[in-house]
A = this chain, B = another copy of it.
Amino acid sequence: MATISDVAKQTGLSSATVSRVINNYPHVSEEKRRLVHEAMQELGYFPNTSARNLRNRKTNLVAVLIPRLTNPFFTTILDGIEKVAEEKGFQLLICQTQSSKKKELDFLTLLKTKQVDGVIFTSIENDWSKIEPYTESGPIILCNEYHRDATVPIVRLDQAYGSYLGTRHLIERGYKKIAFCHGSKSGLSNDRRKGFERAIAEAALPLNQEWVFHDTYTMEDGKKVLKKIINLKNRPTAIFTGGDEVASGVLKEAKRHGLKVPEELAILGFDDQPIASLIEPELTTIHQPGEEIGSRTMSVFIDCLNGVIERTQQSVIELPISLVKRKTT
C-alpha cells in the first residue's frame, strides 16, 4: 500500500505538502496541488484511517447500543440515527447488548480506548452510577430512555403522556375494566404505568391487581397474558399492552379462543410498528416517532461534540407522541 511519503517521493515534494493537499489547506500552489493529485491517482493512494485517527484524536465513529437488532422499533431508531450520521460523516458501530448489563458496560470501554467518539444508548440496563464515570471520556446520549440522575442529554418521548392518552381513549369509549401489561418495573415501562394509573384515577375506575401483568415483552408473552385473562372470574373488557408485539400476541390468542375484538375485549398497543396495521383487526396503538427520535439524537450528539450542548449535564428534548385509532378499541 502506498503511503503519504510514497506520494511525497513521487512528486518530489514533502509529505507536509501532500498532507496539505489532502486536507484542502490553503497556501499550496495550484501546480503542486495538481501534481499531488496525479501522483495519488497513479499510486492508488488512500490515507490510512488509523494513522489519521491517532493524530487527530478522533475517529468519527459512534457506538450505538441497542438491545436487539431484530426488534423493529429499535431498527427504526437506528435508521434515523444512521441517516443523520451518514450525512454528517459519521459511521456507526453496532453494539447489541441483548439487554445484558455486562455487555452494556463492556461496550463502554470503546469510549475509554478511544475507538469511538461517543455512545448513544437506545436502552439502558445499568444504574446511572455505573455509567456516569464514562461520561468524562466522551459524549453519551440517551435516546428514548430516561434516568432521573443522568448527567447527559436525553432525547425522549413522554411515555407517561402517551399511555395517559391511550387509557383516556379507552375510557372515552366506555371501557371500565382495563387491564395493563408492562415490562420491567423501571424506566419506560414505569412511566407508561404512571400515565395509565393517572387516567384510571382521574376516571375513578377500579384498578384490579389481577389485571396487571409483569415482564411482558414478546408475542408469546401476549398469548400467555390472554390465557390468564380467560381464566379470570372477573375479566377485564380492555387491555393496554406495553407494546405492539404483546398486543398482537393477545389478539391472536383472543381470536383463537373465539373472543370478539373489540366487542368482548379491546386491545391497545404501543409503538405503532408496521405489524400494527397488518394484523386484523388493525391495532389501535400509540405512535412513537422512531426515526425522528433517532435523527434528533444524532443531531444532539454532534452538537455535543462541537460543544454547542453541554455534554455532562442533563438536558431533555421531548418529542410528541400520539394515538392512532384503528379497529381494536
Q: How far is the CB of A109 from chain B (nearest CB, A)?
A: 7
Q: Which of A70, A274, A279 has the most B CB atoms < 10 Å from its CB?
A: A70
* Measured CA separation A244–B275 after assembly (Å): 12
Given contacts A82-B94, A82-B96, contact A59 B69 (CB under 8 A): no
Given contacts A112-B46, A275-B278, contact A75 B79 (CB under 8 A): no
Residue of B53, B70, B93, B112 touching A76 (CB-CB under 8 A): B70
- Contact A49–B94 (Cβ < 8 Å): no
* Measured CA separation A68–B274 after assembly (Å): 15
- Contact A113–B46 (Cβ < 8 Å): yes
Instruction: Bits for A200-223, please: 1 = Cβ < 8 Å to B, else 0.
Output: 000000000000000000010000
A252 within 8 A of B: yes
Chain A contact residues (Cβ within 8 angstroms of B): what range? 35 or more
- Contact A113–B70 (Cβ < 8 Å): no
- Copies of this chain present in the complex amount to 2
* Measured CA separation A61–B59 after assembly (Å): 13
* Measured CA separation A297–B324 after assembly (Å): 40
**Residues of chain A whose beta carbon lies under 8 Å from any beta carbon of chain B:** 1, 46-51, 53-54, 59, 61, 68-70, 72, 75-76, 78-79, 82, 86, 91-96, 109-110, 112-115, 219, 248, 252, 255, 274-275, 278-280
* Measured CA separation A167–B59 after assembly (Å): 50
- Contact A48–B91 (Cβ < 8 Å): no
Report chain B residues within 8 Å CB of A96. Answer: 79, 82, 86
Residue of B50, B72, B79 touching A53 (CB-CB under 8 A): B50
* Measured CA separation A51–B79 after assembly (Å): 31
- Contact A48–B94 (Cβ < 8 Å): no
